[in-house]
Amino acid sequence: MKSLSDRVVARLHADMQLPDLTGTRYNLLQYLACGGMGSVWLAEDTVLKRRVALKVLDLAAPADGLDVRLLREARILARLEHHGIVPVHDAGTLADGRAFCCMKYVEGQTLAQQIATLNLPDRLRLLERIAEPLDFAHARGFIHRDLKPDNVMIGAFGEVLVMDWGLAKVGVTSLEGGEAEIATAVQTTQHSLRVTGQGIVLGTRGYMSPEQARGDIEVDHRSDIFSLGAILTFMLTGSAPEELAASGTVPRPLRAICEKAMAADPNARYQSGREMTADITHYLNGEPVSAYTEGLLERSGRVFVRHRTAVVLVAVYLIMRVLFILFARR
Amino acid sequence: MTRHSLVLAAQSNDPATRSRAIEAIAAAYWRPVYKYVRMKWNIAPEDAADFTQEFFTRLLEKEFLDSYESSKGRLRTFLRTCADRLFMNQERDSKRLKRGVGSAHLSLDFIEAEQELARELRSGTPEDSFDKEWVRSIFVLGLARLQAICESGGKLIHFELFERYDLEDADPKPSYAQLATEFGLATTDVTNYLAFARREFRRCVLEQLREMTTSEEEFRREAQALLGVKLT
């Protein structure tokens, strides 16, 4: 066989990457992104005439169980119907043997991409909207385990969606039928994973809790609270969570909220997303936060800021009153 | 997991097994090695051809491959390093073989490789060129497999369509409707036959890659290198 020109090699290279959608209801539109396990494509659902995102593995029947993981992720998403969690539409195997998962196509940016455009109150309100679907998942026995700014999408109309549930842990109470089998069959080899003597470590350094990093088997929903604290730190400092101590610009109550969420001991953390966001709401309203004991001066300053108009009016009244008395004595 | 690995066969003590395996490895690597030495050391085409033959002779004599361990790196990186080492040793010892002396019995078309080199845009480092040539070789071998499969399965028309649409360097490419007229098929058949050929081509390339690696881990790394490049 004769050799191939550079252009033909490039064309074949592109062909090799295209998912084979023969026999499916999808038409390929464009490449979107690639990750550790495969790539994501924009496609058209020809029956419903809508755009969808197709997550497709690189290889058919991969030896590391990635196909099992993708199916598992699809099943988890199918169970988590919440406006803050990306919905799954379909999952299966393509003609070329590669596993795929069809999800809602979210037009927008990741939190990591959009953070610089938001002011402080908007950032804090955003965190409240990330915590809400997490609480929903926790109540159903699911733990995300890979929460980070890249896994939070902000849609074109401001909707916030928690993505990538591929590493989620399924609580025993939420398992039905063969799901327990799927949950235990998972093997992981992504770059973000490493194996320790105690178990398989899943997650992303900096955003995963200490117990998760140790590979503890008994990781619970408070591991996600740690990640939420790490995300808040990122939102406040614009840098990695480890940089919190070095950053002098974060207001003390917010720093305390971050520190409490990221406490090494899960018992010392907020016990739910709602508890953490309650503190954030208090901060936004100029009220004391549970994570921080303020001094007299700080409290006075906060009260002044919160009731500025009333304080000014009272002060003006008092000054007028004093002046009136002084003039009256003359 | 049992795998048919050319590299393991090339490390065999059975001369016949080893020879067959080295020939197969040479089929994938001779172009990358030839073009690499031409680019990196800027040596004459005849010297580069002698060097390439010498390199694969050494492989056949188990001089290099016995020390290869897949856990320490990719085969292609290992072979490139071996080529560097052989060249530098020859330079140092001034024992460069005269043309045609001591060559392996491999039938390699250096004239065609030289013509390709003249046509190609020389961009990037010699190392980049080595990797690029490796991809080209894997694709060429994958295509040979695809052709054999199509011929034996009575699907030669699938291959011919694939050849016409994907392998010809024409710009613009013919439309599916034009191909349908040309081959006397319905347009939907053209779509389906091309989908089949592309699917099988992908499978053939991955099979080829699997044979060129010694472990599942290395296979996945190489497959990712081959498939994981972002499209623009």
Virtual torsion, Cα B205, B208, B214, B220, nearest 10 deg: 10
pLDDT at position A154, please? 94
Domain tally for chain A? 3
β A99-104/A50-57 pair status:
antiparallel
Residues of chain B neighbouring A18 (CB-CB closer than 8 A): 198
Banded pLDDT at A264 (limits 50, 70, 90): very high
How far is the C-alpha of B78 from the C-alpha of B56, rounded, in Å?
14
Report whether pLDDT(A173) > 70: no
Q: Are B195 and A22 within 8 A, CB to CB? A: yes
Identify the CA nearest to B47 among candidates B87, B83, B99. Answer: B99
Q: Is A154 in the same domain as A224?
A: yes
Banded pLDDT at A165 (limits 50, 70, 90): confident
pLDDT at position B105, please? 59
Per-residue DSSP letters for A115-126?
GGG--HHHHHHH
How far is the C-alpha of B5 from the C-alpha of B208, rounded, in Å?
10
Residues of chain B neighbouring A5 (CB-CB closer than 8 A): 119, 169
Q: What is the pLDDT of residues B14-29, one digit of tens each?
A: 888 888 888 888 888 9
- Pick from B120, B195, B229: which is nearest to A13 by CB? B229
ipTM: 0.81
Residues of chain B neighbouring A6 (CB-CB closer than 8 A): 120-121
Amino acid, single-letter form, for residue A133: P
Tokens for B26, please give them: 């040479």
Using the 8-state DSSP alphabet, how is residue B167 labeled?
I
Q: Are B220 and A34 within 8 A, CB to CB? A: no
Tell me if A244 is assigned to some domain.
Answer: yes
Q: Is A100 in the same domain as A14?
A: yes
Banded pLDDT at B232 (limits 50, 70, 90): very low
pLDDT at position A33, please? 85
Tell me if A113 is assigned to some domain.
Answer: yes
Report whether pLDDT(A191) > 50: no
Please report how many Cα atoms fall inside a 13 Å half-sphere around the Cα of residue A316, on the Cβ side: 6
Q: Flag the least confident range among A47-61, A147-161, A276-290, B55-69.
A: B55-69
Q: Is A30 in the same domain as A119?
A: no
pLDDT at position B19, please? 84
Tell me if A39 is assigned to some domain.
Answer: yes
Report whether pLDDT(A286) > 60: yes
Q: Is A191 in the same domain as A280?
A: yes
Report whether pLDDT(B119) > 90: no
Banded pLDDT at A1 (limits 50, 70, 90): low
Question: Which of A42, A74, A105 is the endpoint of a domain?
Answer: A105
pLDDT at position A124, please? 95
Which of A6, A18, A66, A188 is the mutation pick for testing B, counting most B CBs within 10 A?
A: A6
- Pick from A3, A14, A96: which is nearest to B112 by CB? A3
Residues of A with a catalytic annotation lie at: 146
Q: Is A149 in the same domain as A177?
A: yes
Tally DSSP H helices, then E strands, for chain B. 10, 0
Q: Is A314 in the same domain as A278?
A: no
Banded pLDDT at A196 (limits 50, 70, 90): very low
Residues of chain A neighbouring B31 (CB-CB closer than 8 A): 3
- Pick from B135, B144, B227: which is nearest to A9 by CB? B135
Q: Is A127 in the same domain as A258?
A: yes
For chain A, which residues lie within 8 Å of any Cβ of chain B, measuring from their own Cβ? 1-9, 11-18, 20, 22, 31, 34, 58-59, 62-64, 95-96
Identify the CA nearest to A184 among candidates A203, A170, A165. Answer: A170
Domain span holding position A286? 109-293
pLDDT at position B205, please? 93
Q: What is the pLDDT of residues B84-111, one digit of tens each?
A: 988 888 887 765 555 444 455 567 778 8
- Percent of chain A whose predicted confidence (pLDDT) is above 70: 87
Q: Is A160 in the same domain as A51?
A: no
- Nearest chain B residue to A62 by CA: give it: B220
Does any CB of chain A come closer than 8 Å to the CB of residue B205? yes
CA angle A135, A139, A140 (to 5 degrees): 120
Q: What is the pLDDT of residues A28-71, one digit of tens each?
A: 999 888 776 788 999 999 999 999 999 998 888 776 678 888 88
- Percent of chain B whose predicted confidence (pLDDT) is above 90: 34
Report whether pLDDT(B120) > 90: no
pLDDT at position A194, please? 39
Q: Is A208 in the same domain as A87?
A: no
pTM beyond 0.95: no
Q: Is A81 in the same domain as A127?
A: no
Q: Is A126 in the same domain as A153?
A: yes
Question: Which of A71, A105, A139 is the endpoint of a domain?
Answer: A105
Residue scoring higher pLDDT (A191 or A44): A44
Residue scoring higher pLDDT (B161 or B124): B161
Report whether pLDDT(A227) > 60: yes
Overall average pLDDT of the B222-227 stretch: 79
pLDDT at position B215, please? 80
Tell me if A1 is assigned to some domain.
Answer: no
pLDDT at position A291, please? 86
Overall average pLDDT of the B30-56 stretch: 90
Identify the CA nearest to A186 among candidates A222, A145, A223, A225. Answer: A145
Q: Is A135 in the same domain as A191?
A: yes
